[in-house]
Structure 1
């Protein structure tokens, strides 16, 4: 029996790609004169490529993209600070997020978020989506001193939810950090596919795949 459902944040509850696109369009309009010979859509598309679904730190992305388009590379720090301060204002949830979490809580399940990232930055996104009202626990890698797929972080999440790992369902988009990491400590898993692909060199998916958050409800019956 499942007692707790744990979620990744980026590209699972938070539609990070759409949120980032909205922020980048706004940032471009405000700082276009510093960004070089580039149109807005080209800038946004290239940023997403360099960002690699959040796997590359923006302290690397901004200097790289400014250099490519002939922008002021010295302006990278200002753009990074703006990103940290304003990106959460454009936070967009995946369809059905609040409804799914509310329904899960109504069943008496403990809910948690386990996310990699900087504490202040991720906390602002959690607050923007009002997730702090919808879940019982939030574990952010910087604050915890651990990063997925470290087994210790998943074990800590189960402990915070006062249950065993075998009674937890973990939902996430990253095959290695989320799904295989949670599976390694005995959690049930659900891969939130989105636009991600399962790596050919990774172990096979140990659980079901879902495309909408409402599908989590049938996995905890």
Structure 2
């Protein structure tokens, strides 16, 4: 890893700072246990594999997901709005901060680096932040649907630049850190930011611009931000 220093950093939230993966399993375990049309027909392991197929690139459209689920198990009792609220309210209560992130946040808050969080989602992203304590430690949390556009749209990244509030800050002086190649890396790369991809044991796709850095945990970025 090169030793380029950045004046600012922006972070995705889910699977970058907080453990969405485990919470996703927990939410859908609760759903599985409540739905006899599923739990009477397949094992939890089979159901979980299917539920993960509804979350490509670690992103979920809960309203569309329930339509797919009901297409597979017609006896499932729900509807798009009910499932959306079930999924995100439980996710918001169950999610935990990733190991080592509290220490990283303490470190970056004691450094000279301005930073913030840019996350796709609505008010439920703020519930996740409250549950994990990030609402008290992050300088700002920009939730895309409350702003008006989702990543990878350039407008949400440029709003984050404004919120960083550094005179004369160029986008190439900002490191964007995220796990989703198609929203985080494509979007931040498109406005000129440098990028760091959270690997999570995956291969990087060939149809997205390569990240400048690939890491397994945000702690690996300290040398770039010191």
Residue 175 of structure 1 is matched in structure 2 by 181
Query: Where do 5+ consecutive residues of structure 1 fail to align?
Result: none
Quick check: 1:151–1:185 contact (8 Å CA) kept in 2? yes
1:84 aligns with 2:88: yes
CA contact 2:113–2:225 (8 Å) conserved in 1: no
Q: What are the equivalent positions in structure 2 for 1:76-115 lying under 5 Å apart?
A: 76-77=79-80, 78-115=82-119
SS at match of 1:75: coil
Normalising by structure 1, we get a TM-score of 0.88
Residues 1:217 and 2:185 aligned together = no
| Residue among 205, 209, 214 paired with 1:199 | 205
**What's the CA shift for 1:175?**
1.8
Query: Within 2, Cα distance between the matches of 1:135 and 1:81?
Result: 25
May I ask how many residue pairs the two structures share in their alignment? 217
Q: Deviations over 1:112-152 (max 9, x none)?
A: 110112x1221111111111112101111101112212222
**Is the Cα–Cα contact under 8 Å of residues 123 and 146 in structure 2 kept in the other structure?**
no
Q: Which residue of 6, 12, 35 corresponds with 1:8?
A: 12
Computed over aligned residues only, the root mean square deviation of the Cα atoms, in angstroms, reads 2.0
What's the offset of the Cα at 1:182? 1.4
**Runs of 4+ off more than 6 Å:** none
Once the two structures are TM-superposed, the CA of residue 159 in structure 1 deviates from its matched residue by 1.2
Query: Which consecutive unaligned segments of at least 5 residues does structure 2 have?
Result: none
Spell out, residue by residue over 1:35-56, the C-alpha distance to the aligned partner (whole angstroms, 9 max, x if none). Answer: 4622323222211112224544
